[in-house]
Structure 1
């Protein structure tokens, strides 16, 4: 304990000695570029300094103490009081509550029992969750035959079969934006056709008997053009009980229906809807020094569904927002404008907290510089989603220069109407009023369920998949599995660093972010590219959401997905003799998705020799190994490379488990997470050597006088591995590519994750 605290105090002393004097009070005429020294301090403090792990610890203590916090419950009110104590302990200013009347819905007892076609009198309990604001079944429940449909069109086609039946929607998972339409509208459509209840497949790509809940909304009509016209119209007083069932049960019922078997279910729901209940939004501030009436707003919501701990949605992101404000305060980074932290209530059911806050503060629209809501995940944050004018985007653009050090430099532009929907329910009215709006852009792991090629690689056919990459978030979203176990301390630190960086820049620019029409949907890559091809209507960009792209923003360095593919593919064609180098250089600018798509585009005009090299370089250059499925092994790729007489791939980021399964030798030791490390790493071919540079992420750990000094000797390209309480490896990094964050345990669900992370924090060399 003594040495742990000694390390923290030493860090603060060194920080004070090396910090520029200008950090306390920003100079007049600041730009994002001028603020880079402070941004580097923010990132260091959050990811390696005293802020490391604090957001996770705070969130865990809060979630473990209060559990789930559904609107209208006494526990929500207790948690609001408890959160105020956290704000007071941090020393924020002007902490107060503002009243808001919120939704009040109670689940009570519920069950779904499969009666037929099981034989021998066997009955199967189907895990289920009533949807918020659903009506209950009669007290005796409902026992009825089941009709299974795969989509809206089949429901319309078979509407004559609906009367008296429970309708099960067993639709394929194509993303939340599509699936949520069933949750919000199925109860109305089934009621119109004479059904007695609606059960829908849970909104996620994966389930362990973990049904999802969620709100059905209160809209009295169906007008969505994505739904068949036959369903459009007024549905006042037309509704049936509705709930979610587990993915595997929906698929089972679909199989039974396909066989022509008669299906019968008994459904019981005793949920209740009450009048609005009094509650409170909570507000705290970090007052500005120059123009305190101008505000940068950071927010999240404190309520959750009555399942799990409400950790991922939204205690974790909420505490990340608080951590961002805390970092600025701890470092003494005075802001020109006021930074306001708002904790909303009732986001999940009725959204009344956000509505009330906008009503109470609508006179501040002109003074609101930037608003952000943290409510869409904090896993492997790649950057931000942003709705802003072209000049505002350009003003924030240089912030990404600092964030490349933690691989969080992506800016996903969400200016189209479809893009605005993902920026936050509680701040949506500010967004529609023209206030620049920001949220975090995460990268979901282990989540591809689309088609693959012969090597098991995602087969995009030159296009981004709709939302197949939303995986992990919707595995747990609104389920009993939403607990602290799904969050990661290091990733929360990175998220806090991103939020704090953008908050600090927005709060200290000489002029407020310029207003104007929002830049249409698009993506800004890792490097500036003001001369890149611009978007045109109807094209797709490289965002995970696959939203439409239109318009242009040369000042933003806007990259269009199709343009990137075309440019990259052409570069590959022109450099067949240096194909591997070309791919590596492209990865320094474009996303991995673009490069893979470009390789797909030129399959008909290049040989297998060049295609397999591209995949090898993707492996060599440490680009999001989470894209590589478990079936794609080192042996299978290297066999193809050997057949073409090509150098072997390095695979330094693959889990060592794969190497052990394949009997790979040459290991020198075991890392702290049980993963091995190659004793030597093959040098790249001469043609690719220029595309790589040494990556060194070195920190010093002082423990009772022990000093570990690691050095790199010589200019020759090679690799060294040594053991210091674990297996530490030097790795090559492609030129122009930012350093990756330190490697994480691949066992994200390990109960020992905190201990493993603490044990490995004594140095910052990558643990392989």
Structure 2
């Protein structure tokens, strides 16, 4: 804990002092913000919630039986915690079952490989698909292949994900996962395998959503563990005619109803104005969803609870939203935006925690150019928690990323994600990867952010153009 406190102190000393000519937070708001930080750093609530969710519910793929168990878990927890209002809103979600997935090099060096189906993939025929593989460095290289170049073959995208604190390497490679099947099928491929979109060297594959296109044949799509992708490369260096057999049995089962689960701390003087802090409740079915996004659920719920328990409620309403089916394409986020379209003008600002449990080192905003410096000024108490003031280019997080198009200001509380993609979407996404002290610092940041924004007197609109 002493090292952790020292880290926060050093981080705060590195934050540039803001000009005193801009709007300053009121002394009472500063005092309460400091109180929230201290309470968060002394509380185990967020970790207790993540433990409860991962142990008592576990993996909770949208549309599955566990998904509804998670919804009930969330309703019960939020109610027990004493929020002023707890409710849920229905969301239509696809139902998909992973089934089994096996891969085998049958020539020239017969051996098994570790794969997993990508979310939404179709199955192979019962006897599988046996065909030569064709390797591509990137999705762009695959798209550049001649028409018909993959007829009767299996495409292999071998794009490595770079490790970055910001996680920006994921953005460079994820297109191969989401759009690779369409690109490969349009060139005649029978199936596609991709190097896992991750930064680890474990022999386990990373799942994640992919999508099809109505006018392109649907082919099976799988991710290959990084060591097995390396193995394939070594084989191809020896003999370019590597033949792979895939056997996969995922199935789609139509649609089901899930729910966005919502809790509110009712504002004292502006109850119709909303400060939204969110996370997504669903997870993939390989691990227990501790980092993605059990951590986020714990963070925003605990932050909301701290504000709920203040002797005097903030001016605006704090709305905690636990979104459905983020992993399957931001379905809960889109449903929320549609269901609340008539009150989005009353959403003062929104932010989502969906990047694990690493320390928050910076806050970025997306507000008007005129308001930006003043927003940084009133956010200054967050620097004592190691959070630097950042840029005016935030997206807010996946499930709120569509809100700026509707004019809603957003913030991104940037977490250290250098190891996040070691565990993301794998069986290794488990509770032991969550650092309790880092989680506490996250809660402090979200509690301070939400409270200061709920008390703010700054007009944040219209949003700056990027």
TM over 0.5: yes
Q: Which residue of the partner structure matches residue 146 of structure 1?
A: 133
Match of 1:324 in 2: 303
Q: Which residue of 2 aligns with 1:66?
A: 57
Output aligned runs, 1:147-186, within 5 Å: 147-152=134-139, 154-155=141-142, 156-157=144-145, 161-174=149-162, 175-186=169-180
Q: Does 1:428 align with 2:375?
A: no
- Identify which of structures 1 and 2 has the higher relative contact order when contacts are C-alpha pairs closer than 8 Å and 6+ apart: 2
Indicate the RMSD between aligned Cα atoms, in angstroms: 1.9
Structure 2 gaps of 5+ residues are: 1-22, 163-168
Residues 277 and 350 of structure 2 are in contact (CA less than 8 Å); yes or no, is this contact kept in structure 1? yes
Q: 1:209 pairs with 195, 203, 213, which one?
A: 203
Decide whether aligned partners of structure 1 residues 390 and 378 sit closer, same or farther in structure 2, where only a CA change above 3 A counts. Answer: farther
Give the Cα–Cα distance (whole angstroms) in 2 for the partners of residues 333 and 186 of structure 1. 53
Partner of 1:483: 430
Match of 1:42 among 24, 36, 41: 36
Q: Within 2, Cα distance between the matches of 1:406 and 1:352?
A: 33
CA positional deviation for 1:350: 3.4
Aligned to 2:463: 517
Q: Structure 1: how far apart are the matches of 2:156 and 2:50?
A: 37
Residue pair 1:131, 1:244 contacting (<8 A) in 2 also:
yes
Given the two structures, how large is their TM-score scaled by the length of structure 2?
0.89
Q: Do structure 1's residue 290 and structure 2's residue 274 form an aligned pair?
A: no
Q: Do the aligned partners of 2:102 and 2:114 also contact (CA within 8 Å) in 1?
A: yes
1:250 Cα offset (Å): 1.1
Distance 2:147 2:226 in 1: 24
After TM superposition, where is structure 1 displaced by more than 4 Å over at least 4 residues in a row? Answer: 157-161
| Alignment check: 8 A CA contact 1:137 1:241 kept | yes
For the 8 Å contact 1:299–1:374, the answer to whether it is kept is: yes
Q: Which residue of 2 aligns with 1:93?
A: 84
1: distance between equivalents of 2:400 and 2:95? 21
Q: Go from structure 1 to structure 2 and tell me whether the alpha carbon gap of 1:258 and 1:159 turns closer, same or farther (over 3 Å shift).
A: farther
1:652-710, CA deviations, whole angstroms, 9 ceiling, x for partnerless residues?
A: xxxxxxxxxxxxxxxxxxxxxxxxxxxxxxxxxxxxxxxxxxxxxxxxxxxxxxxxxxx
The alpha carbon displacement at 1:154 in A equals: 4.2
| Number of the residue aligned with 2:17 | none
Q: 1:354–1:340: structure 2 CA closer, same or farther, 3 Å change rule? A: same
- 8 Å Cα contact 2:380/2:389 also seen in 1: no
For residues 149 and 288 of structure 1, the distance between their equivalents in structure 2, rounded to whole angstroms, comes to: 54
- Equivalenced residues, count: 436
Q: Tell me, yes or no, if the aligned pair for 2:170 and 2:198 is still in contact at 8 Å.
A: yes
Identify which of 90, 93, 99 aligns with 1:102. 93
Structure-to-structure mapping, 1:75-474, within 5 angstroms = 75-118=66-109, 123-152=110-139, 154-155=141-142, 156-157=144-145, 161-174=149-162, 175-218=169-212, 220=213, 236-414=215-393, 420=395, 423-444=396-417, 471-474=418-421
SS in 2 for 1:426: helix
Residues 296-335 of structure 1 deviation map (CA, whole Å, 9 limit, x = unaligned) = 1111110111110011111111110011111112333411
Question: What is the rounded CA distance, in whole Å, between the counterparts of 1:172 and 1:102 in structure 2?
Answer: 31
Aligned equivalents of 1:209 and 1:481: distance in 2? Answer: 11
CA change 1:319–1:110 in 2 (3 A) is same
Are the equivalent residues in 2 in contact too, given 1:376–1:439 (CA < 8 A)?
Answer: no
Specify whether residues 316 and 159 from structure 1 end up closer, same or farther in structure 2 by C-alpha distance, changes over 3 A only.
same
TM-score (normalised: structure 1): 0.55
Structure 2 residue 453 is matched with structure 1 residue 506: yes
Q: Secondary structure at the match of 2:326?
A: coil
- The Cα shift of 1:128 comes to 1.1
Tell me, in whole angstroms, the C-alpha distance in 1 between the residues paired with 2:140 and 2:349: 42
Question: Helix, strand or coil for the counterpart of 1:214?
Answer: coil
C-alpha distance after superposition, 1:345-372 (max 9, x if no partner): 0111133222222222111111110111
Larger radius of gyration: 1
Kindly state the Cα deviation for residue 158 of structure 1 after the two structures are TM-superposed.
6.4
After TM superposition, give the deviation of residue 160 of structure 1 in Å.
Answer: 5.7
Structure 1 unmatched runs, 5+: 1-29, 221-234, 445-470, 521-768
- Contact 2:364 / 2:392 at 8 angstroms: preserved in 1? yes
Distance in 1 (alpha carbons) for counterparts of 2:425 and 2:392: 27
